[in-house]
Amino acid sequence: MNILITAGPTREPIDPVRYLSNRSSGKMGYALAQAALNHNHHVTLISGPVSLPAPSGAHLIPVETALQMFDAVRTTISHCDIAIFAAAVADYRPVTSSSQKLKKHPSSLSLHLEPTEDILGSARSLFNFSGYLVGFAAETENLIAHAQSKLTRKKCDLIIANDVSQPGIGFDSTENAVTLCFPNGEIHPLPKQSKQTLAAVLFDTILARATPLPPTPHA
């Protein structure tokens, strides 16, 4: 099957040397890509800047900003059977990015931010994606309620909910513990384990529920 995975953070430039970003390491997305490759699937990995080697055999599309990730997903998602959105996309970007390095002044500085594209939220509505759609929900409170709300709003088949307030799991950690939320209300917690082991379990779960897209008829 063709699998699309987004991974890592995005960087939203403020000026040529500064940006807004987050603590995502990309480890969960890259581990999922490796799990899919281990099953001999074709993997397109759209990744923000990370310090991880590209999994051998993946088609890596490196991006920096949320807009670049949005464009890369838009042009690749239509031929995919499964799309897994593991990237920690910045929700806001500076409205303007200075072409010169901003100089320090004694007064305070305000950044005017605008929302970035909701890439996962666009999968069904803008990209007409009809395959198996998986999102992550990184939350610090009301984990299940927020995850279920994302599941419905973004028309996902599965949300992998992550309590990022707990030390030692999630962002920038080697381990993770997640709760799977399905549209039928099913909730399935998975205990703390290495991201590699967890990725194998997650990928098996996704594969068991996803069905390949019918072949596109030739013109």
Catalytic residue annotation: 22
Q: Does 89 bind ligand CTP (CB under 6 A)?
A: yes
Neighbour tally for 23: CB within 10 Å: 11
Q: State in angstroms the smallest separation of the CB of 86 from ligand CTP.
A: 6
Residue closer to ligand CTP, measured from CB, 85 or 203: 85
> Quick one: which of 15, 64, 71, 118 contacts ligand CTP (CB under 6 A)?
118
Shortest spacing between CB 177 and ligand CTP, in angstroms = 16
How does 112-125 read in b/e, with b if 16+ C-beta sit within 10 Å?
A: eeeebbbbbbbbee
Alpha helices in the chain (DSSP H): 27-38, 66-76, 119-125, 143-153, 195-209
Which DSSP string do the residues of 127-191 spell out, in sequence order?
A: T---SEEEEEEEESS-HHHHHHHHHHHTT-SEEEEEETTSTTSSTT-SEEEEEEE-TTS-EEEEE
| Between 81 and 117, CB nearer to ligand CTP | 117
| By CB under 6 A, residue 66 contacts ligand CTP | yes
Write down the least CB distance from residue 185 to ligand CTP, Å: 19
Q: How far is the CB of 210 from ligand CTP (least distance, A)?
A: 16
- Per the CB < 8 A criterion, the answer to whether 7 and 28 are in contact is yes
User: What is the nearest approach in angstroms of ligand CTP to the Cβ of residue 158?
Assistant: 10
For residue 181, state whether it binds ligand CTP (rule: CB under 6 A). no
Binding string, 134-163, against ligand CTP, x = CB under 6 A?
-xxxx-----------x-------------
Q: Which of these ranges, 45-53, 85-93, 102-110, 194-202, lies near ligand CTP under the rule CB under 6 A?
A: 85-93
- Supply the Cα-derived Rg of the chain in whole angstroms: 18
Nearer to ligand CTP, 16 or 189 (CB): 189
The correct pick among 19, 85, 132, 203 for binding ligand CTP (CB under 6 A) is 85
Number of residues counted as binding ligand CTP (CB under 6 A): 16
Q: In angstroms, what CA-CA distances link 18 with 21, 65, 79, 99, 171?
A: 10, 13, 36, 11, 21
Report the residue number whose CB is nearest to ligand CTP.
Answer: 119
Could you tell me the sign of the dihedral formed by the alpha carbons of 9, 10, 12, 13, in that order?
positive
Per-position b or e across 88-99, b if 16+ CB within 10 A of its CB: bbbeebbeeeee
Residues at the contact surface with ligand CTP, assessed by CB under 6 A: 6, 66, 85, 87, 89, 91, 116-120, 135-138, 150
